[in-house]
Amino acid sequence: MSSQNRIAVVTGAGSGIGQTCATALLKEGWQVVFVGRRADALQAAIAAAGADGVRAVAMPCDVGDEAAVNALFDSVQQRFGRLDLLFNNAGMGLPPKTPDEVGGAAWREVVNVNLNGAFYCLAAAFRLMKAQSPMGGRIINNGSISAHAPRPGSIAYTATKHAVSGLTKTAALDGRPWDIAVGQIDIGNAASEMTARMVQGVPQADGSVKPEPRMDLSAVAETFMAMVRLPLSANVLFTTVMATKMPYVGRG
């Protein structure tokens, strides 16, 4: 199937990693559904894609709302007839806090977006990919370095990202009979609004505060597209892309 006939859904597409990866898909001819909470941010992201934006559509959705997610994927099926790729990218974190400072409401908010939302989207994508002809497709979850090693004061974010790894492994197994390839991209210190504070300095495991190197978002897009371009008979289950000098290997 040519890229021009392939349909992708990217969550958290209004900025940062999601926008960059959605734009990379557009450049290779994909039709891309930009998903996020804010319609204005989605429209701005599509406009920034220039002429390629003609193959994009904005569909605002709160991924933490199961009914809204099901309606979103119903709209995708009705409009395009199939789904070939889901990038499960939407996520959020909290300011650094120890567990006793987080509180149940904040904890549930992070879990609802990062874990519940990822599951709702993955489950809805499975439903479409199992039923379509030709069947199958690819799902890529955004795991993060925190799926492997925590930062200080990040219990909600880290717990949900560890859980995303469980989603990836189980869905990769469950998707085999329907040619659904599920993988995970773990991204460290990409230059975006979310990581701007790293330039000034962020808490380290030894109690110090130090600036950390960041990589350009283009490195994330290139890694993501390498996963996307694979045939469904091949899958990158986990891959890590990070700034070469960031304190991850040997962290702590």
- Give 168's contacts (C-beta < 8 A, 6+ positions apart): 141, 143, 182, 183, 184, 237, 238
Using a cut of 0.95, tell me whether the model's pTM lies above it: no
Tokens linked to 215: 């990589």
- Is 248 noted as a catalytic residue in this protein? no
Range 153-166 average pLDDT = 96
Q: pLDDT (tens digit, 9 = 90+) per residue, 77-111?
A: 999 999 999 999 999 999 999 999 999 999 999 99
Compute how many other C-beta atoms are within 10 angstroms of the C-beta atom of residue 249: 8
Give residue 241's region: left, alpha or beta (phi > 0; psi -120 to 50): beta
Residue 194 has a pLDDT of 66
3-state secondary structure of 234: coil
Range 163-167 average pLDDT = 98
CATH 3.40.50.720 fits 3-242, yes or no: yes
- Give 242's contacts (C-beta < 8 A, 6+ positions apart): 145, 187, 188, 189, 215, 248
Residue 1 has pLDDT above 60, yes or no: no
Range 50-71 average pLDDT = 98
Residue extents of the structural domains in the chain: 3-242
Instruction: Considering the candidates 82, 157, 168, 186, report the single residue annotated as catalytic.
Output: 157
Q: pLDDT (tens digit, 9 = 90+) per residue, 173-209?
A: 999 999 999 999 999 888 776 676 777 788 888 888 8
**Single-letter amino acid, residue 40:** D
Helix (H) or strand (E) holding 172, with range, is helix 155-174
Tokens linked to 126: 């499975």
